[in-house]
Amino acid sequence: MKATEAAGAAEATDVAGADPQRIVLLGPQKGEPTLPSVLRSLKTDGVSEPGLPLLTITAGWQEREGESDRLGSGVGPTVDLGLYERAERVSRAVPDLAVAHRNVQERLKLLRRAYNRRLAALMTAVQRLESMEGDPGVLDAERADALADIRRLDSRHLDRVAEFRAEYHATARPDERKEVMRERAEIADLLARGDTVAIAGGHVATLVNRLRWFWLADLLASHTLVAWSAGAMVLGSRVVLFHDRPPWGPGHPEAFENGIGLFGRVLPFPHASQRLALDDSERTRRLARRFAPDVCTLFDPGTRVDRVAGEWRPAEGLLRLESDGRAAPFDSRAA
């Protein structure tokens, strides 16, 4: 597959339910990791073959990539795909490609700043309308229109992100660089050694960029995937950054990036209880409606949901946001 074709598929295609690929999304793994027990359950279910190494993607850890002891005891032998270091190696070997990549990243940073300024203004309008008192027959339609403006901005922003990346692939042509293709071939060889890939969290932008360096969506589609935190976020159709209570004051969730598109509808919010103001019904209602029809899914430690033959099957304790802002048990029919 050409890089441009893969990029387009990764950024625009929702393949949920299109094949029987098993995908397992977990809550954060710091503290008491559940990954070892999840891997054992996959072997018991016959999904993963015993004796094969666990393939890992830890590019989000950046310089600590490949430190398998951080995955918890009992995961068995691991083979890391080394995406972070591979991208660094390509950058050193092909300086003009590295320059082109830095240029598109700078354009994306500028685009993000412009988007956030527009988002702040629209969000202020929504909040002020929500606080107004008066005839619901007048105000409800205005509030709905104001939220629709934010949804349109989110959509347009992600379209522009995809446009910038497509321009990079068309001009820099990474799929025609022997250094890139050599690394991608080595990644494919490593993937042939196992049937399960664990995708860790860390720096979400680094992780999604490294996956795109070698346009891995098609290579990963044939494996069982176990992902958490940033790893879960980047596999879906879009990546939303959020923190309702950062040290510098309340923020607004932002439609940050297009994911690589291996599933749709489930929108992961890791560390939900820490990072979302779940006791603020106006904020949670706004969040759920803004990103509908995607299901805002609340991943806290110990939570799990499996996609089996295209259907999401949650473990007990997984919550989602209802359209009225309430946290309720995850319902596979909604996803």
Q: Are 53 and 39 in contact (CB under 8 A)?
A: no
Can you give the pLDDT at residue 245? Answer: 81
% of residues, the chain, pLDDT over 70:
94
Question: Does the structure show a pLDDT above 80 at 10?
Answer: no
Using alpha carbons, select from 235, 295, 290, 292 the residue that is nearest to residue 13: 235
Average pLDDT, the chain: 92
Can you give the pLDDT at residue 250? Answer: 72
Q: Name beta bridge partners: 258.
A: 238
The predicted-structure confidence for 58-88, as pLDDT tens digits, reads as follows: 999 999 999 988 898 889 999 999 999 999 9
Give all domains of the chain, ordered by start, each with its CATH number: 3-92+172-334 (3.40.50.880)
Q: Are 146 and 125 in contact (CB under 8 A)?
A: yes
Using alpha carbons, select from 80, 77, 71, 76 the residue that is nearest to residue 32: 71
Give the torsion sign (CA, 192, 259, 35, 88).
positive
d(CA 179, CA 182): 5
Using alpha carbons, select from 104, 123, 146, 58 the residue that is nearest to residue 255: 123
Can you give the pLDDT at residue 72? Answer: 83
- Identify the residue whose tokens are 């995937």: 225
Higher pLDDT, 4 or 264: 264
Can you give the pLDDT at residue 153? Answer: 98
Q: Are 305 and 312 in contact (CB under 8 A)?
A: yes
Structure tokens at 292: 């509908």
- Rounded average pLDDT over 171-185: 96
Contacts 24+ apart (CB under 8 A), 118-124: 118/153, 119/150, 119/153, 119/252, 119/254, 120/252, 122/146, 122/149, 122/150, 122/153, 123/150, 123/252
Q: Are 304 and 275 in contact (CB under 8 A)?
A: no
Q: Are 106 and 81 in contact (CB under 8 A)?
A: no
Band of residue 151 on the pLDDT scale cut at 50, 70, 90: very high
Question: Does the structure show a pLDDT above 60 at 177?
Answer: yes
d(CA 323, CA 167): 37
- Rounded average pLDDT over 20-27: 93
Whether residue 293 has a cis bond before it, omega within 30° of 0: yes
Structure tokens at 251: 């923020």
CB-based contacts of 162, cutoff 8 Å, min separation 6 = 7, 8, 11, 12, 258
Can you give the pLDDT at residue 118? Answer: 97
The predicted-structure confidence for 263-272, as pLDDT tens digits, reads as follows: 999 999 999 9
